[in-house]
Structure 1
Amino acid sequence: MSITPCRPQWKGTLTGRERFRRQMHWLPVDRSFNMEFGYWQENFREWDIFVDNHITSNAEADLFFNFDRISSVGGNVWMSPPFAPRILEDRGSTVVALDASGLWVERPKDGHSTIPIYLRSSIVTPDDWQREKELRFQRGGANRQVDLESLRQSYPPGRDFPVGVNCGSMIGVIRNMLTFEGLAYAIYDYPEMLEDMVETACLLVEDFLDQVLGQIDFDFASGWEDICFKNGPAITLDFFQQVVVPRYQRIGDKLHRHGINLWYTDC
């Protein structure tokens, strides 16, 4: 279904790509680059402006509001294949399910957005990790290959909108696999296992970057961790400095060698 914008695009004298690059480098612009963080899935079912105009996703909302276009390229840089989700127990208003990260999770049946209750993880000990690493974290397979020709067609050098390269996660995806509590224990009980997980995450991201850097003219890099909370970070500062930062430095070196000097991470 085609989306009809609800308003004209904001006026400007620069292309979206020029505007983004200039604004992010503290240079004068015609106006601010206009983008939106996004909406909860319930918004598309409950807000009249979305329901009446059949807007069902953030991508459609961006077109509907005529925001400046921005895109990002990511790869298969983590667990592959994931765990097969399935329902384990019906508890009335909630169900206990195995999710794609291998977690036993209790969640509401009606599907409303809420913080789920994580009951246990499939990966706790080094033996668990070695078993799942062999099955789900192999490098170099066909499932890790990038369709470069498709990317070149979608993001040619002369495009008028910015495109970023996603650099994955060094510790947030591990937290998702172990649970917050499991990660906290692993730092002290199994530090070697945890560092091997971080190294695995870094290698998979590096493999992806080696395929796309120099092939697509990227404007920025992005990442995700989500490990900061109101009472402090999810991991110790020593672990972050000694284990995570060196991997970030390796990724940063690759980005810098290809002229990418904008890199943000959702911390």
Structure 2
Amino acid sequence: MGFDFNWYNCFSLHNFLRPVFDRKVVAVLPDGTQHMRNSLGVTVTLKPGAGSIPGEIDHLLKDRASWEEHYKWQLQWDPKRVEEAKVRIGPNMKVYGSNGCETLRQEERELPLGLHCGSLLGNIRNVVGMENLCYLEADDPKLLTEIINTAADLCFRCAQHVLESGIQFDFGHFWEDICFKSGPLVRPQMFAEMVGPHYRRITNLLREHGVDIVSVDCDGLLIFVMLM
């Protein structure tokens, strides 16, 4: 099922790293290419005039020590993650904790209203890198499970805070981007075991609050999603 972001509103929460890392140039090559640490703590290559996805050079999250020092504390629940999020209503942006919440409560609206429930694995993939994610599953599944559980619990609590406010959403939406046209980037069994329970927990929460339409942007062909 496809959605055109031009004809609906989706409320996005601060349900991942907060605060993010400061962008920092760590090296400049003779041709002008920059090695930059981005907001996720990933060092990437930025070539002059290039418009494609930057190549990844290094990842700050490598093991349990770096997880606990740099990332775990950035994934803890705080009501400000919702209260300070901005609500998009057409071309306008309003802070949820100010008057954005009341705007969302309005029953008469012209566009469907969605709640962006976050990412339970895709954002983690962005932080550790695709190759490292695969190694982490094999080398330290306990750590990977803890990272997924922490990120997923944060997404749940953010969604719970909004849903319990009485706002009626028309659909829930997730972002993952862990598939491509030939199949998934991770083992379906791994996803089912480590991520699946969290999806059930959040989708059950949505249904409890009258939201029975849920979509996932996985970047994969529908046939593979159905097989998973």
Q: Same fold (TM over 0.5)?
A: yes
Tell me, yes or no, if the aligned pair for 2:15 and 2:81 is still in contact at 8 Å.
no
Relative contact order, higher structure (CA 8 A, sep 6+): 2
Per the TM alignment, residue 160 of structure 1 is displaced from its structure 2 partner at its CA by 2.0
Q: Is 2:97 aligned against 1:97? A: no
Query: Where in structure 1 do 4 or more consecutive aligned residues deviate above 3 Å?
Result: 141-146
Quote the residue 2:149 is aligned against.
Answer: 199
Tell me, yes or no, if the aligned pair for 2:13 and 2:81 is still in contact at 8 Å.
no
Tell me, yes or no, if the aligned pair for 2:17 and 2:75 is still in contact at 8 Å.
yes
Q: Take 1:185 and 1:231, find their aligned partners in 2: how far apart are those partners?
A: 21
Q: Take 1:134 and 1:244, find their aligned partners in 2: how far apart are those partners?
A: 18
Structure 1, unpaired ranges of 5+: 1-23, 25-32, 38-61, 63-68
TM normalised by structure 1 equals: 0.71
Aligned CA-pair RMSD: 2.1
1:38-187 mapped onto 2 (5 Å cutoff): 62=6, 69-91=7-29, 92-110=31-49, 112-140=50-78, 142-145=80-83, 147-148=96-97, 149-154=99-104, 156-187=106-137
Write 1 or 2 for the structure with the bigger share of strand.
Answer: 2
Q: Take 1:209 and 1:141, find their aligned partners in 2: how far apart are those partners?
A: 11
Q: Take 1:179 and 1:36, find their aligned partners in 2: how far apart are those partners?
A: 29
> How many pairs are equivalent?
204
Q: Take 2:103 and 2:181, find their aligned partners in 1: how far apart are those partners?
A: 43
TM normalised by structure 2 equals: 0.82
Q: Take 1:141 and 1:71, find their aligned partners in 2: how far apart are those partners?
A: 22
Quote the residue 2:187 is aligned against.
Answer: 236
Distance 1:107 1:125, change over 3 A: same
Cα deviation code 1:25-77 (max 9, x no counterpart): xxxxxxxx9x746xxxxxxxxxxxxxxxxxxxxxxxx5xxxxxx310011110
Give the share of equivalent positions with the same residue, in percent.
27
Secondary structure of the residue that 1:248 maps to in structure 2? helix
Per the TM alignment, residue 145 of structure 1 is displaced from its structure 2 partner at its CA by 3.5
Distance 1:117 1:136, change over 3 A: same
Q: Take 2:121 and 2:112, find their aligned partners in 1: how far apart are those partners?
A: 27
Q: What is the identity, as a one-letter code, of the residue corresponding to 1:74?
A: S
Secondary structure of the residue that 2:151 maps to in structure 1? helix
Q: Take 1:134 and 1:166, find their aligned partners in 2: how far apart are those partners?
A: 22
Tell me, yes or no, if the aligned pair for 1:93 and 1:109 is still in contact at 8 Å.
yes
Tell me, yes or no, if the aligned pair for 1:155 and 1:163 is still in contact at 8 Å.
no
